Chain A
Amino acid sequence: MIKSSSLRTILLSPRGGISAIVLLAVMICAVFAPLIAPYAYDIQSLRDANLNPSWKNWMGTDEFGRDLLSRMIYGARTSLSVALTAISISVAIGMSLGATAAYFGGAFDRLVTAVVDLTWSFPEILIALILIAIIGPGLNSTMIAISIAYLAQFTRLTRVQIMALKNETYVEATRSLGAGHAHIILRHLLPNALTPVIVAGMLATGDAIILEATLGFFGLGAQPPTPSWGAMMSSGTAQIFIAPWIIIFPGLAIAITVIAINLFGDAVIDVLDIRRQLRDS
């Protein structure tokens, strides 16, 4: 697990520190959007459409005259909440599935492995698109689609770890002292398997932001007028020659956020030396 001393090492390294500051800024925007945004995200003013960035509208306005900076700040809220919720659900279900499959084995394990391997062989975007085609577009379905798209990864990672851990002597020792299955899985197996899964989850959050933006770009994610970085880029494509800032700023936001998440994840991996663990599994 991540100790406070390791956390300090992460934050004091150049990568870890800078990426942490960027992520913190994005998170503050997401959480306190109504307080930070200079305007509401949905006030239209067709007279002020496609304005250049200025002191009044720092990032200019979009084709409906809405303040782009305000929409960016609210967009951070959409992107982060969708990505984080989806990955949390995915990690929770993936760990439970992987752990029970590995621990009990047998037919259940073979079924889980077969389904997981099947979904593993498709790119995440394809799985997400198929699911959204079935359950319909919207923020909630984006969340569900993303969480299922990444399920295979966490199930596999957990399963492999539990497979190795369940033969450890301390598991047998605990059992010979009268512990039941639930106690062994929850108190001994999962805590020992947690670290690599957490890091994989952190890195997957970056991918999930891109996936959310992609779905938003296709118009399958957040529905107007709710701002999301992907949907904003999509509407910006039409104005790319007259108001390029409409597509550039959300694109930059996505890129910077995802790069920051990955750098932070790398810093954590280096400090905890779990690259080896991830590779072994």
Chain B
Amino acid sequence: MALLSVTDLSVFIGRLKPLDGISFDIGKGEIVGMVGESGSGKSLTAMSVMGLLPLIGGKMTSGSIRFDGIDLATLPEPHYRALRGRRIALISQNPMTSLDPIIRIGAQIDQVSILHLGLSDAAARARSIDIMQQLRIPEAATVHGNYPHQLSGGMKQRVVIAMALAADPELMIADEPTTALDVTIQAQIIQIVVDLVRERGLSLLLITHDMGVVAQACDKVVVLYAGRVAETNGIDAIFGEPQHPYTRELIRCIPRHDQLRGSLTGIPGAVPSVMDYPSGCRFHPRCADALDICAGAIPALEQKAAGFAACHAAINAAGKVSAHG
């Protein structure tokens, strides 16, 4: 049974509907990548799972989020609070601002295990230093007594990850954990997280807009576009035979070393604004394979090959050679 099961999740913020029927599963020990351009609803999905929607004035209007048999949509706040950090932990986007500037690094990691596991100060400290060492933070004991401004961005991100790991969660949600970092250490941080998750048998929802990261780390991929799931499939199938034209475009955008100079391209057009989504398939104005039906009818998320895709053209495009191949 899936550890986290999101079914038909729709979220309203005021009169806007930035998430429209999102469904995906994360199994135990599985690493699921969630990709899509900015504004496609990736972070909002994470907020929904964490139960933090009220903070930004969002409201879940339909669907269900089930975590290990618990219905998160109706979970009272005190129970939710006990779950956050303890069983589901979030690694936030920007390590530069995710740490309290006037509290020592160590105390910030310690407080998680003190709060959730009821450890003593000394036990929490030993545990934190142990986790910091696993995250390959050099001189962990010294860093434990430092303030955030004394650390580099990469070290801060490791500290943020250590905070997420401090209470031994079963599911981690990493919301673009490396966007704020230098390219040189992005891969390193991802590798450390993936190794730890594999080692401990945790589940991970890795939110990113980098298909390269997904290819390197994930078991399964959920492709979001404009608040809907475009396609979801296993990692090999997604890269081997992508069904949705949007997935193909994303894969085409991964730079390759044998690429001709100047041939690096993006997807033409921009993600539509939540205030004025196109009718039918929301990708059709940018889609090279768009059919007449695409502007009129919303494509359902249907079983295609091993995964699911929401595309009218996918049936006809079944035999098409992918851009990746």
Query: In the complex, A281→B288 CA distance in Å?
Result: 53
Asked if A178 is at the interface of the complex by the 8 Å CB criterion, the answer is: yes
Closest to A181 in B: B81
Interface residue? B131 (CB, 8 A): no
Q: Which B residue sits closest to A194, measured CB to CB? A: B102
Known contacts A170-B98, A170-B99, A192-B100; is A175 also within 8 Å of B92 by CB? no
As a 0/1 sequence over residues 67 to 100 of chain B, the CB contacts with chain A under 8 angstroms (1 = contact) are 0000000000000011111100110111001111
Q: Quick one: closest A residue to B87, CB to CB?
A: A178
CB contact between A169 and one of B84, B98, B112, B167 (< 8 Å): that residue: B98
Q: How far is the CA of A176 from the CA of B85 in the complex (A)?
A: 6
What is the distance, in angstroms, from A181's C-beta to the closest C-beta of chain B?
9
Which of the residues A1, A173, A191 comes within 8 Å of B90, measured between beta carbons? A173
B164 interfacial contact with A, CB 8 Å: yes
A contact residues around B160 at 8 Å (CB): 173
A residues 131-174 touching B (CB-CB < 8 Å) = 168-170, 172-174
Q: Is B100 within 8 A of A175, CB to CB?
A: no
Q: Are A179 and B52 in contact (CB under 8 A)?
A: no
Would you call A192 and B102 a contact (CB within 8 A)? Answer: yes
Q: A169-B98, A170-B98, A187-B111 are in contact. Are A177 and B85 (CB under 8 A)?
A: yes
Contact flags A22-46 to B (C-beta < 8 A → 1, else 0): 0000000000000000000000000
**Interchain CB contact (< 8 A) of A178 among B85, B92, B93, B100:** B85
Complex: A168 Cα to B98 Cα, angstroms: 8
Q: How far is the CB of B54 from chain A (nearest CB, A)?
A: 11
Contact A172 B164 (CB under 8 A): no
As a 0/1 sequence over residues 103 to 123 of chain A, the CB contacts with chain B under 8 angstroms (1 = contact) are: 000000000000000000000
**Minimum C-beta distance from A214 to chain B (A):** 38
Q: Give CA–CA (A183, B84) in the complex, Å.
A: 14
Q: Is A225 part of the binding interface, using a Cβ–Cβ cutoff of 8 Å?
A: no
Interface centre among A170, A173, A174, A188 (most CB of B within 10 A): A173
Q: Say if the beta carbon of B55 comes within 8 Å of chain A.
A: yes
Give the interface residue-count category, chain A: 10 to 19
Contact of A172 among B85, B92, B103 (CB under 8 A): B92
Whole-angstrom CA separation of A177 from B85 in the bound complex = 4
User: Cβ of A177 and Cβ of B102 under 8 Å apart?
Assistant: no
- Of residues 203 to 242 in B, which have CB atoms within 8 Å of A's CB atoms? none
Minimal beta-carbon separation of A186 from chain B (angstroms): 12
B3 to chain A, nearest CB (A): 18
Q: Which residues of B contact A175 (CB under 8 A)?
A: 52, 55, 84
Q: Which residues of B are found within 8 Å of A173, using beta-carbon distances?
A: 90, 92, 98-99, 160, 163
Interface string of B90-122 (1 = CB under 8 A from A): 101110011111110000000110011000000
CA distance A37 to B100 in the complex (A): 49
A67 to B4, CA, bound (A): 82
CA distance A262 to B103 in the complex (A): 30
Q: Look across to chain A and name the residue whose beta carbon is closest to the beta carbon of B82.
A: A178
B112 — which chain A residues lie within 8 A by C-beta? Answer: 177-178
Contact of B97 among A1, A170, A187 (CB under 8 A): A170
In the complex, which residue of chain B has the Cβ closest to the Cβ of A188? B100
The interface residues of chain A lying within 8 Å CB-to-CB of B84 are 175-178
Q: How far is the CA of A201 from the CA of B115 in the complex (A)?
A: 33
Residue ID in chain B nearest A178 by CB atoms:
B85
Is the Cβ of B115 less than 8 Å from the Cβ of A179? yes
Check B52 against A178 for contact (C-beta < 8 Å): no
The yes or no answer to B295 lying at the interface (CB within 8 A) is: no
Query: Closest CB-CB distance, A276 to chain B, in whole Å?
Result: 16
A172 proximity list for chain B (CB < 8 A): 52, 55, 92
Most buried by B among A168, A179, A192: A179
Q: Supply 8 further A-B pairs (C-beta < 8 A) apart from A176-B50, A179-B81.
A: A1-B102, A169-B93, A169-B98, A170-B98, A173-B90, A173-B92, A176-B92, A179-B85
Hey, which bits of chain A sit against chain B, CB under 8 A? 1, 168-170, 172-180, 183, 187-188, 191-192
Cross-chain pairs A/B with CB under 8 angstroms, 9 sampled: A1-B102, A169-B93, A169-B94, A169-B98, A172-B55, A172-B92, A173-B99, A177-B167, A179-B85
Closest 4 CB pairs of A and B: A178-B85, A177-B85, A169-B97, A178-B84
